[in-house]
């Protein structure tokens, strides 16, 4: 009888043990990113929540636990309602106008015309310049006495005399919104322009041959392809605009009271002017929760990654 060598099957490694081995093998590569997340994101966030429950003196001395008293003080503030309304108007207004103008601008820049490269480079300028510098130019340009922009409006006959655009809450807030749109256009425009490069030209031509007009072609052929790019642009703009401080601080920071404030600028005023670090921490936590809620609702409703 011929002896047959039989291979003994190697016992399979349990799935959980294999998963642990894979995790341990990946840790050296993940450690730098995890360290950055813990030290730059999680620790400050945790410390912020902890500070919001402490009684902190104006000079920064921790005097013990305050429980939820800081949140009670925050929600008892008579200015909070106006500030929350300003924040909603600020975010919705800036993001909507930015996206609409960027869609039109991207459509224009996608066409072939002489000097297109120079125009595309010019669009980047507001993005390349410092936000504080841009806001400062508008602040002094709109000065009622020696502002170049104010004088230009007088020369055109739009104004009879210099108007203090940055001296009153509502005009200053509207100017700040305009500046925010101005500095947000480059990123949004180029994001949508990148999406336009993904539109198949033959499909657009086929729609035209089938008798579809420009509006019908845009909404039925082009817009569905642009949807992911627009969704990403809107999401990033919501986060940036919601947390924007330099523009409002530069253009409305000298106005007394809270009529031109958003939650972000109110946090700054609590710290710098009122020396209420604990109340500012409580508002920061509320701000963070609002941002997460808005983003969660947006992603739930829009679902930017779903298949068309």
CATH number at residue 134: 1.10.3720.10
Total domain count for the chain? Answer: 1
pLDDT along the chain (308 residues), means of 10: 48 67 79 87 86 80 81 88 93 95 90 84 84 91 87 86 86 94 92 86 74 76 84 91 90 86 90 84 90 87 63
Query: What is the DSSP track for 85-129?
Result: HHHHHHHHHHHHHHHHHHHHHHHHHTS--TTHHHHHHHHHHHHHS
Q: What is the pLDDT of residue 1?
A: 44
Whether 58 maps to a domain, the answer reads no
Q: What is the pLDDT of residue 55?
A: 82
Whether 54 maps to a domain, the answer reads no
Closest to 228 in 3D by CA, of 283, 299, 282: 299
Q: Is 107 exposed, middle or buried (0-12, 13-18, 19+ CB in 10 A)?
A: middle
Whether 14 maps to a domain, the answer reads no
Whether 263 maps to a domain, the answer reads yes
Whether 118 maps to a domain, the answer reads yes
Does residue 130 sit in helix, strand or coil? coil
- Residue pair 308/228 in contact by the 8 Å Cβ criterion: no
The pTM (predicted TM-score) of the whole model is: 0.82
Whether 146 maps to a domain, the answer reads yes
Whether 289 maps to a domain, the answer reads yes
Tell me how crowded residue 45 is: count the other CB atoms within 10 A of its CB. 13
Domain membership of residue 162 as a residue range: 82-302
Whether 21 maps to a domain, the answer reads no
Burial 172-199 (b: 16+ CB within 10 A, else e): bbebbbbbbbbbbbbbbbbbbbebbeeb
Pairing of strands 54-56, 62-65: antiparallel
DSSP state letter for 256: S
């Amino acid at each position: 009888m011929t002896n047959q060598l039989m291979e003994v099957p190697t016992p399979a490694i349990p799935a959980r043990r294999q998963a642990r081995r894979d995790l341990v093998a990946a840790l050296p590569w993940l450690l730098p990113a995890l360290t950055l997340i813990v030290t730059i994101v999680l620790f400050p966030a945790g410390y912020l929540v902890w500070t919001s429950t402490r009684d902190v003196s104006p000079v920064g001395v921790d005097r013990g636990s305050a429980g939820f008293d800081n949140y009670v003080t925050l929600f008892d503030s008579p200015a909070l309602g106006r500030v929350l309304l300003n924040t909603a108007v600020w975010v919705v207004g800036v993001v909507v106008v930015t996206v609409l103008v960027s869609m039109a601008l991207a459509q224009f820049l996608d066409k072939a015309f002489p000097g297109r490269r120079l125009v595309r480079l010019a669009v980047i300028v507001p993005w390349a310049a410092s936000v504080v510098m841009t806001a400062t130019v508008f602040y002094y340009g709109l000065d009622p006495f020696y502002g170049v922009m104010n004088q230009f409006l007088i020369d055109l006959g739009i104004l009879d005399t210099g108007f203090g655009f940055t001296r009153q809450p509502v005009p200053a807030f509207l100017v700040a919104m305009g500046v925010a749109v101005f500095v947000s256009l480059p990123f949004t425009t180029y994001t949508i322009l990148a999406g336009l490069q993904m539109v198949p030209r033959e499909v657009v031509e086929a729609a035209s041959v089938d008798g579809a007009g420009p509006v019908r072609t845009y909404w039925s052929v082009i817009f569905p392809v642009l949807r992911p790019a627009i969704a990403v642009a809107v999401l990033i703009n919501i986060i940036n605009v919601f947390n924007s401080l330099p523009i409002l601080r530069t253009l409305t920071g000298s106005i007394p009271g809270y009529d031109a404030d958003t939650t972000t600028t109110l946090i700054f005023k609590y710290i710098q002017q009122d020396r209420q670090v604990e109340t500012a921490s409580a508002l920061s936590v509320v701000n963070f929760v609002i941002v997460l809620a808005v983003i969660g609702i947006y992603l739930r409703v829009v679902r930017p990654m779903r298949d068309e």
